[in-house]
Amino acid sequence: MADKEQDRDIINLLEKDTGKGFHLMVERYSRKLYWHIRRLVILHEDADDALQNTFMKAWINLESFRHESSLYTWLYAIATNEALTIINRRNKNGAASLDDLSGIFARSIEGSTWFDGDEAQQKLQNAILKLPEKQRVVFNLRYYDDMPYEDMSKILNTSVGALKASYHHAVKKIEEYLQTL
């Protein structure tokens, strides 16, 4: 999924004209990052907030990126942190159950409006929501984005071996959950 050629275009433009380069970065990455965040936070309004915060942080810290190797792992790392911040905030404040979609949708009228999956999709999302946070991130990046473990390792600052074990455990738990229904 990593398009390193595209990243090079953005980096070249950023060096020539920061504003234009950033514009291109937002255009190229807003969808990918939105869906990555959305799958973690579920609600559109939370994903929207996290996406805007992601680009705001990227913009503010653009100078520090110039020493990094990959634009896309840098952006995914910021987006993942933003999504996890929202989840943690929700866990601290929320009294309602947040381990299935109905629990989350109960807290937001908007939530149910923007989910159009069938029953099987809803079960899968519920199974994913039962995973520990980090396993959920690993599962989503691998299952939906087909992200190589090496890239994931840079984003999550975890060894490839641990990520493979994490994905393996996640799939096993999801399978067990789906079989019990």
Which residues of this chain interact with another protein, rule CB under 8 A? 18-19, 22-23, 26-27, 30-31, 34-35, 38-39, 42, 44, 48, 51-52, 55-56, 59-64, 91, 114-118, 120-125, 132-135, 143-144, 158-159, 161-163, 165-166, 169, 171, 174-175, 178-179
Q: Tell me how far, at minimum, the Cβ of 7 lies from another protein, in Å.
A: 18
How far apart CA 145 and CA 2 sit, in angstroms, is 10
Of the two residues 35 and 106, which places its CB atom closer to another protein in the complex? 35
Q: Which is nearer to another protein, 12 or 159 (CB)?
A: 159
CB atoms near residue 60 (< 10 Å): 9
Contacting residues for 18 by C-beta, under 8 A, at least 6 apart: 62
Q: Which residues contact residue 2 at a Cβ distance below 8 angstroms, ignoring those fewer than 6 apart?
A: 70, 72, 147, 148, 151
Choose between 132 and 148: whose C-beta lies nearer to another protein.
132
Q: Min. distance of Cβ 4 from another protein in angstroms?
A: 22
Query: What's the token pair of residue 49?
Result: 């907030």
Instruction: Compute the distance between CA of residue 47 and CA of residue 53 in angstroms, rounded to an integer.
Output: 10
To the nearest whole angstrom, how small is the minimum distance from the Cβ of residue 181 to another protein? 9
Q: 73 with 151: CB under 8 angstroms?
A: yes
Minimum separation from the CB atom of position 16 to another protein (A): 16
